Amino acid sequence: MKPMKNWILCICLGICGQVLAQSGNSTGYEIRVSLNAYQNQYLYLAYHYGKTKALADSAQVQANGTAVFKGNKPLPGGIYIMVSPKKEFLFELLVDKEQKFSVQADTARLHDIKFTGSSDNNEFLAYTGFIQTRGKEIFALQKQLAAAPNKKDSLALQQQIGQLNTAIQQYRSNYINKSPESFLSALFAALQEPVIPPAAQHPKGVYDTAWAYQYFKDHYWDNISFSDERLVRTPFFEGRLERYFRNLVSPEPDSIKKEIDYMLLYARSSKDMYRFLLTHFVQKYIQPEFMGQDAVYVHLFEKYINEKPEVDWFTEKYRKHMTDRAYSLMANLIGNPAWDLPLVDSTGKLRPLYEIKASYTVICFWDPTCGHCKELVPKLDSIYQAKWKSQGIKIYGVMTEGGKENWTKFIKEHKLNDWIHVYQTPEQRKEEQDAGKPNYRQLYDVYQTPVLYLLDDQKRIIAKKLTYQQMDEVISMKQQKQASK
């Protein structure tokens, strides 16, 4: 039996309320389960929610081995999971229009389940049996392929594997044609990948990689509806969504925003799908993988979340986190002018950022008592002395914490003489707070150290939160581009 992982009620998504709550048909559901074990213990009915699992209901197994899951409102369609008292997976079942049925199972023969009153699940079982048989055959052929003595045998085995995979695809296609409106057809459609036409059908009759890529992208969502909320409760829809953005969507923020807007527009007719997609994108881009993609999160916040009463599923705590994060990121998006920093040096002299004249300015937010800073700052100075200084680049070092004594001591010991070193005095901080102004931590999203920013000669943000090696690569690339003009 498979252990139950991610046993949650969507807490990790910051969602409040039961995602199962819905209006409509009041006939409810009744799923009667007969087992040969777990008397007087509780079975659990769970469901897939993207990559997580969530609890739908629980029922006590009576002395006769029967447990009844029952509710006044119908369950949303999806792939559900029967879970043992020990939180182990027993078997999966489909829930859609048929919501009153029975299941008979033997814990020693969970491959031989019997459903009564559910044609969806009987067809699902037939497919499962078919796929398991073909899967075993493919696995055996793959083992033979790994040990194939020559190319001829390898090609023959590959051909057999291909035929079996084609048979699986054909099974799904035949079923979709026979029952296009069924939930199982929607599942099969979500599993299918576009098939790129042969070279003869490409422009000029020659295989064209760019055309093949565009064809695959254009047909990736064929027969998959963003208003079908049942797909939310499957284990593979979220993975398909992630593959699309990882492999087929350009990583530039504008490209990502365009794709997201399209999906959310078509998902609006299904609150569950809309909620799932918007939450997924928030989680993905609130702490983005790549520099600059925080602009996607700001777009999501401004267009879909801020002051939108219909977006009511986030907890108050998480909503505050989203709001604080959005306002922190708005101030330092790539391409925007950097905020001025009216800070002072160790002598108390005002050294504002905008008074620095340089082709590029590197801002280094650091703390002389921070272990990472102690390691990075000398290395940053080394590349500055060896390369950047002669190129007219300047470093504006901002001491965030650690105390003035530790700060000046570190500067002296490591001979950081060519930096512009500044900090914010307690008096400046108090004056700023009293005036209700945002501080530099908010304006530059500095909540840990070290943090590096790269500005151009107009003090526009070119790059941020990179390593010094990556910063050097960006500078070199920019310089090469300017030299080629």
Percentage of the chain modeled with pLDDT above 70: 95
The whole-angstrom separation of Cα 142 and Cα 329 is 49
Dump pLDDT digits (tens) for 248-268: 999 999 999 999 999 999 999
What average pLDDT does the segment 124-151 reach? 91
The pLDDT value recorded for residue 485 is: 73
Dump pLDDT digits (tens) for 207-229: 999 999 999 999 999 989 999 99
What average pLDDT does the segment 137-143 reach? 93
The whole-angstrom separation of Cα 50 and Cα 74 is 20
Angle of CA points 282, 315, 7, to nearest 5°: 80
What average pLDDT does the segment 144-167 reach? 90
341 CB contacts (<8 Å, ≥6 apart)?
A: 352, 353, 363, 396, 398, 422, 440
Distance of CA 29 to the CA centre of its chain: 33
The whole-angstrom separation of Cα 343 and Cα 427 is 11
What average pLDDT does the segment 431-458 reach? 93
The pLDDT value recorded for residue 1 is: 53
pLDDT at 105 over 60: yes
Dump pLDDT digits (tens) for 47-70: 999 999 999 999 999 999 999 999
The pLDDT value recorded for residue 6 is: 45
Dump pLDDT digits (tens) for 312-361: 999 999 999 999 999 999 999 999 999 999 999 999 999 999 999 999 99
DSSP-assigned letters across all residues of 428-463: HHHHHHHTT---HHHHHT-SSS-EEEEE-TT-BEEE
The pLDDT value recorded for residue 161 is: 93
The whole-angstrom separation of Cα 472 and Cα 478 is 10
Please, what is the average pLDDT of the chain? 91
Q: Answer yes or no: are the C-beta atoms of 211 and 196 closer than 8 Å.
A: no
pTM across the whole model: 0.85
